[in-house]
Chain A
Amino acid sequence: MIRIEQLTKVFPNPDGTEKIAVDHVDFEVRPGEIYGLLGPNGAGKTTTLRMISGLLRPTAGAVWIDGTNVTAEPELVKRQIGYLTANTGLYVRLTPREMLEYFATLYDIPREAARRRIEALVSWLGMESYVNLRCGALSTGQKQRTNIARALIADPPILVLDEPTLGLDVLSNRIILEFIRTQAEQGKAVLLSTHALDEIETMCKRIGLIHDGRLVAEGELEDLRKQTGRSRLSEVFLQLVGAAESVFAG
């Protein structure tokens, strides 16, 4: 389970000013749940996900993964998390199989178990045809599937996904979303950040809306619809963001 308490990140600027990227954010993601994190560009979603994954150190507040503080035990926590973004690159001169074997070793997975895990992931994600080709020669969809396999190599109980379907074709998109849903059904806690509102609508029961680093709304989709009186998620989104802007401006 992911629990975030008063999570804050401040980036220093060289001119002495500071940029508050994430401002006292609280939410939690439960096992078996796909939690959608929504927000306009530059709202602080990616920074939040990076702090959860141990890539950035919070300025204040804490991230707890199954009761362990990320800042105190980053390596322990990293074993529990499968982290994936649209921008995470692959080693272009390695094949997907070599790359998965490499990460399996970094995650201390015994050789035989790693081999079985890789075969299973290759089969689930339909990677058989290109698992032995160099990553540099793969299409965007194939790369993203390889990346998913990499994120899942240690079978982590928590998935942190930042725009996992960005730039993918319909087929790859469907495979990946199906895969995410299956993972949640298996009891994993999934934190999904995306701009694709239809994905949020079909995949998530609860969402958090982040704007200017603050969590401006959070709850079940139905409750938010009732709260705003709108049925379409895009309208709900715009209304909540607009309300937040007027509050902050005022």
Chain B
Amino acid sequence: MSRLSRINTIWRKELIDTLRDRRTLIAMILVPIVLYPAMILGSLQGFELQVSRLRQEEYRVGVMSESVRSWLRHMIDTDPARQPGAQPEMSAEELAKKGKEGELAGDEEDATRDESPTDAARESVRATPPEYRIEIVSDPELLAKQVLEGELHAGVVLGGPPPSAAGDASAPITLLLDQTEIRSQMAVAGLGGVFERADSELLRQRLRRENLADTFVRPIDVVQETVATPEKVGGSILGQIVPLILIIMTITGAIYPAIDLTAGERERGTLETLMVAPVPTVDLIAGKFVVVALIGMLSAGLNLLSIGGTIYLGGLGQILTQQSAVVIPLKALPWVLVVLVPLAIMFSAVLLAVCSFARSFKEAQNYVMPVMVAALIPAVVGALPGMKLSGPLLIMPVTNIVILTRDLFTGQGSTVNILWVTLSTTIYAGAAVAVAAKLFGQEAVLFADSGSIKTIFQRRFFKPARWPNVAQAFLLIAAVFSANFFIQQALLAKPGVLGTMWYWGGLTAVIFGLFVGAPLALCLYARVNIKETFALRLPPLGGWIAALCFGSSVWILSQVWLSFQETWLPIPREYEQAFGEMLGVLDQINPLVVVFFVALVPAIGEELFFRGFALQGLRGSLGVIFAILIVAVAFGANHHSIHRLAVTAGLGVLFGVLVIRFGSIYPAMLAHLLNNGLAVLSGRSDALQPVLERLGYVVGDGGYPPVAWVLGALGLTLIGVLICMFGRRSPDGPLREPEPI
């Protein structure tokens, strides 16, 4: 049975098993379809109920004299908002909306404030004052005390004669309230509304008295006008909310299947049953991973649809968006699906890895909580205003997905960014799945009586191994990928450093530190055979010849591909400029020094890591074809250019074939050295360019090399391929080491 059909069998069985689990159904279907609409509609009704209750109450207000009481009574009774037909009663929804727009009298400065049921209730009484009972408390201290003790809801202290249209003075009015009491706030809000409207009316009368227009007191009248389309505004708002909802929902949906299919299986005793079947652990975990990711996606999708439907159909759109000129962009919805895939892949893999470590359902639940918290931190970082998807954030797990979602919703997502996010997420998820596979099959995890889980990581319990295992390989690929990205970004961020010896020195240190030092340290710690891992043995003659064929020809074919690619995926101008700048700097340096840094150092360092450590680590579990392809893509991704990904990954495949076929790293190093060296020196007037030109190698229109050269390069590459296919193989090359059970 092929690996894919086996994984297919496993995931289909796991899906049936999971869908029959009541807990999954509850988390996946019942919660989104029933609970969320009920919660949202219920809270809306509660909100309206609270508003209506508070506005119907009678509030007690204290004043210090009979004259103030009469004046206040008059103010309240003659308030225009209380006159019949003046201000129709608004629904909670309209109130919230109006509150945001600053349309309520005298509340223009609050236009951008966040809305809450209390705010809305306050706005409601401010617009239409409730009933007031006015009492006289002549002692100011007693008045304050009664407000504090709740006997009165508010106090009104008039610091002079009552205001009038005839005079010019301003009447100081102090409103006493207990800010911690909602009713006190309501009473004061209502009074505030009364005074604001009276203030406007008195001002208007005074201006009229002086024969002045209303605009006299408002020399500048600022109006903000948005040019964003309602769809864009809606997209921007959704872009901030949707990623967080998706993250929480994906995790919520994936938690149960992740626990059930790992720790749950162990607890029920079916894991032992499964492990005696002739199936590699990687396949078991891959099948389970597909189901967890699928359930995570389904759950998040259903949740989003349900919430969207409730908001849209339940009339809550305005409250959520808080603005009137907003349209929820339905055409942005397909992007949700695009973003769901990396999200579900990422979290399913992480959850599986975490749960694979647990021996029981309960233990797994304890492990999962920190994952949720850890996932939300980068998500919140991504949701911060002004975050841009560039630099290190491009590959920052979760953060990059959140920012990408927002960009997609506002129509600013680029293909390159989607590719970056997908690529980096896939690498992280691959590492997590590999770790899950490794932990899932561990004896100490499988059987409680087989030693402590702690022993899994202690050096003295590692058995000597020929090659690193798949988890070690994947983990280091992911770690090196992100560390390399961050360090290179940091190097490039320093102005003027590009092309200097500092830069090249730093780059060499990175390559040797990350690509050689890290795997070497891991091999030493985990007792992995260094010679076998890095394939440090001499190849047969065919290996050298094939390497010469590839190394001397592929740089021409790469040029053809890049020129062709330029027609449909053009390199951005800034990138081209930066690349040109670097080449310009390189031109100043002695060609031999350039060959050292650009060809020799990568040929040694990158080959030792990718075709040595990574390829040997993956081949045992994934088979050579998958291993070569995955390592090639990882190799391409480490060049940090989507535009060069196809070329570098293609080179990676050829180098991988060389190592597997001839059991040695050296042919791959030679081919890598030749390829990089020729690519750089061919364009230099002080190196190979004059020689090549004499031989007819002149780059034509569109950047294509001459046809004869392309055909020659194709021929050489083909010879290399034929040698790989039919040449004498290394006796150690195709051997397979069984994975530890």
A-side residues, CB < 8 A to B, are 11-14, 19, 47, 50, 53-57, 71-76, 78-79, 81, 83, 85, 87-94, 98, 102-103, 105-108, 134, 147, 150
Contact = CB atoms under 8 A, between A and B. Distances in A.
A83 B274 CA distance: 11
B275 interface: yes
Interface in B690-741: 738, 740-741
Given A11-B450, A14-B455, A50-B447, A102 B461 contact: no
B86 interface: no
Contacts of A55: 272, 275-276, 446-447, 741
A94 B17 contact: yes
Nearest to A89: B269
Nearest to A135: B270
A83 B277 CA distance: 9
Interface string B333-369: 0000000000000000000000000000000000000
B39 interface: no
B159 interface: no
Contacts of A88: 269-270, 272-273
B179 interface: no
A14 B17 contact: no
Interface string B270-289: 10110111111000000000
A93 B454 contact: no
7 contacts: A11-B451, A13-B452, A56-B741, A71-B738, A87-B272, A106-B9, A147-B273
Task: Sort A-B residue pairs by CB-CB distance and give the 10 closest, nearest first.
Answer: A89-B269, A93-B20, A11-B451, A78-B278, A75-B278, A14-B452, A89-B270, A83-B276, A14-B454, A106-B277
B231 interface: no
A11 B270 CA distance: 23
Nearest to A46: B449
Contacts of A50: 447
Nearest to B279: A106
B204 interface: no
Given A13-B451, A74-B741, A103 B277 contact: yes
Interface string B478-506: 00000000000000000000000000000
B687 to A, nearest CB: 53
Contact of B455 (A12, A76, A83): A12
Contacts of B206: none
Contacts of A106: 6, 9-10, 277-279
A63 to B, nearest CB: 12
B443 A57 contact: yes
Given A87-B272, A90-B270, A94-B17, A56 B450 contact: yes
Contacts of A102: 9, 13
A72 B737 CA distance: 8
Nearest to B276: A83
A89 B741 contact: no
B296 to A, nearest CB: 19
A73 B278 CA distance: 10
B272 A78 contact: no
A85 B449 CA distance: 16
Given A75-B279, A93-B20, 7 more contacts: A13-B451, A14-B455, A54-B741, A56-B443, A74-B738, A91-B270, A106-B277
Contacts of B214: none
